[in-house]
Amino acid sequence: MNGEQQYWHHGRTAYHFQPAKNWMNDPNGPLYHNGVYHLFYQYNPHGPLFDTGRLSWGHSVSGDLVNWAFLGTALDPTSPFDADGCWSGSVTVLSDGRPIILYTGRDSNRVQVQNVAFPKNPSDPLLREWHKPSCNPVIPQPADVTGNNFRDPTTAWLGHDGQWRFAVAAEVEGVGSTLIYRSADFVHWKRNATPLHTSPDVPVWECPDLFPVAKHGTEGLDTSANGPGVWHVLKLSKAADEDYYVVGRYDDETDTFVPGDGNDVRNWRRVDHGHLFGAKSFFDARKNRRVLWAWVNETDNQSDDVAKGWTGIQAFPRALWLDSDGKQLVQWPVEEIETLRRKRVVLLGAVVASGGLHEIAGIETRQADVEVVFEMPNLEEAETFDPNWLQDPQKLCAEKDASVQGGVGPFGLIVMASGDMQEQTTIFFRLFKHDDAYKVLMCTDLTRSSTKEEAYKPVYGGFVDVDVAKDKCISLRTLIDHSVIESFGGGGRTCITARVYPEHAATGSSHLYVFNNGSDVVKVSKLEAWELGTASVNVEDDGLVALQSPLVVPMSPNRRNHHVE
Ligand code: DQQ
């Protein structure tokens, strides 16, 4: 395969963030600064595979979070304090307006340490070049850290005492800990005696994020915000596994965090019940919102990644806020996605009987945005719930997949379906009666997503915390983008992201259906589906045009038209 063919591979996404080529993992230092969105990311400029010692920080900029221009690398592993890799970290804007990177370096002895970097020219609106001062590492690895696990500093926040603080994941004498460091000048740091959080059952956490959320309303808050109207969210990534979060109270006088759902991570919530990791949020002052980025790795084979020449995408950026229950986050694709909406089809008031299948025709659905509200006129037929199922919704989804008839549900969407239905991915809900209330299960079933034998085809699942007895309806939004399907159940309270590799998508279009395999009817009160246009994302030889300083947009959005067939 030559470079051109790699770039146009049919699995390549049309509006998700990914570099033109090579390996990408965690989002690092997302930022809105002087009218420009920045995204840095773990990036191997030398090829499509993860290579511990060769990781750089890739850097891209955008005017709208949808179209992106690649600026090359901001940090490379060229110094003794990061010679074996520039690993994950954050950007903080200091009180004088200067942004500063805090990141983990693997030094020439492969020891994980914390470093800083400054823009060489702070007045460059694109922050293209970064300087790593010789005072690095600003934090060497503490003696009580075990397993060389000391990494991923968060964005820093300012306490009432005028000192900066950040959190970092560390294994301290075998215990997974979130440590807090304080500093007045961002260079000299002192570790707090007591960690912010410890979990004896999980020795290695990665990519912590601590951020404030308003108790009421959907607006985001600056990372240093605190006070009576504020809760905090602690998010931790369980090494090579899943992201968890909990809402609680953070006190910056004592640097303590009291999680509302307790210290035991097993009682925390998942950021996403599918395949998503290393989430990191930032405050977007342009639209007063908090926005979440997260890495969505490939699930194909390494040999496929080598053949395509690229590996890894980011989930579409999500606005997030605290639900009115004060316990769960609501996540929703940022509204800028609507600029990509093209042709629309609508379905209103359609009754889908037991066994019903209704095609949503008229748009190309390999890159689409689908919003649907299902009404459940009659909840009595809901299946009886076994409390043992609470522990493992994924297993329950696998046992009761879309082909297993229920009472109320399974109903939902069939997406990325081939003409003969041999390939299809289902996203569905199933209702259970639990004491005097109801439990809603949401699943994404990949078992038939691809005819490729060796593809990874799990069933993902999570419960949706909504009051269906009151609402008598449930909403689903699904973003489809060639090899990724992101679904938002119950208005964004439960999210499931999945990678899919359907073979039919290489040559033909995909089909979209609404289905119901419950004994009770469901009604589609409203379905809207939009075909989405192709964004200009890190087009390899793209230039930059400054439209109106300081707004920057990538040039030549029409060059990347490979999905228009
Ligand atoms: N990825 C980085 C580490 C981090 C891990 C290395 C999480 O800093 O802990 O690429 O995916």
Å from CA of 26 to ligand 1 middle: 6
Residues 164 and 280 grouped into a single domain = yes
Dig out the tokens for 308 from the structure: 């395509």
Residue type for 253, please? E
User: Would residue 331 count as lying in a domain?
Assistant: no
Domain final residue, candidates 266, 299, 315: 315
Choose which residue among 25, 41, 50, 107 to substitute to test ligand 1 binding: the one with the highest number of ligand atoms within 8 A of its C-beta.
25
User: Would residue 236 count as lying in a domain?
Assistant: yes
Atom of ligand 1 nearest to the CA of 55: 10
Quick one: pLDDT at residue 552?
A: 47
Quick one: pLDDT at residue 560?
A: 30
Question: What distance in Å separates the CA atoms of residue 254 and residue 267, rounded to the nearest whole number?
Answer: 25
Residues 74 and 117 grouped into a single domain = yes
Å from CA of 28 to ligand 1 middle: 10
Q: Is the CB of 114 under 6 A from ligand 1?
A: no
26 is catalytic: yes
Quick one: pLDDT at residue 449?
A: 97
Å from CA of 152 to ligand 1 middle: 7
Beta-ladder partners of 514:
358, 413
Q: How many domains does the chain have?
A: 2
Question: Is residue 134 classed as helix, strand or coil in its secondary structure?
Answer: coil
Residues 263 and 405 grouped into a single domain = no
Using only C-alpha atoms, the chain has a radius of gyration, in whole angstroms, of 23
Quick one: pLDDT at residue 547?
A: 33
Q: Whose CA is nearest to atom 9 of ligand 1?
A: 206
Quick one: pLDDT at residue 549?
A: 37
User: Would residue 329 count as lying in a domain?
Assistant: no
Residues 140 and 259 grouped into a single domain = yes
Domain span including residue 304: 3-315
Q: Is the CB of 206 under 6 A from ligand 1?
A: yes
Q: Please, what are the averages of pLDDT over each run of 10 residues along the chain (565 residues)?
A: 53 96 98 97 97 97 98 98 98 96 98 98 96 98 98 97 98 97 97 96 95 98 96 94 96 95 91 98 98 97 93 98 97 98 97 96 96 96 95 96 96 97 98 94 97 93 96 97 98 98 92 97 98 93 41 39 25
Residues 309 and 429 grouped into a single domain = no
Question: What distance in Å separates the CA atoms of residue 127 and residue 544, rounded to the nearest whole number?
Answer: 14
Quick one: pLDDT at residue 8?
A: 63
Q: Is the CB of 58 under 6 A from ligand 1?
A: no
Å from CA of 498 to ligand 1 middle: 20
Q: Is the CB of 207 under 6 A from ligand 1?
A: yes
Question: What distance in Å separates the CA atoms of residue 329 and residue 327, rounded to the nearest whole number?
Answer: 7
Quick one: pLDDT at residue 10?
A: 81
Quick one: pLDDT at residue 454?
A: 87
Atom of ligand 1 nearest to the CA of 169: 9
User: Would residue 330 count as lying in a domain?
Assistant: no
Q: Is the CB of 152 under 6 A from ligand 1?
A: yes
Quick one: pLDDT at residue 508?
A: 86
Quick one: pLDDT at residue 218?
A: 98
Residues 290 and 410 grouped into a single domain = no
What residues contact residue 6 under an 8 Å CB cut-off, 6+ apart? 21, 307, 308, 309, 310
Residues 495 and 446 grouped into a single domain = yes
Q: Is the CB of 44 under 6 A from ligand 1?
A: no
Residues 378 and 299 grouped into a single domain = no
Query: The domain spanning residue 190 has which CATH number?
Result: 2.115.10.20
Query: The domain spanning residue 377 has which CATH number?
Result: 2.60.120.560
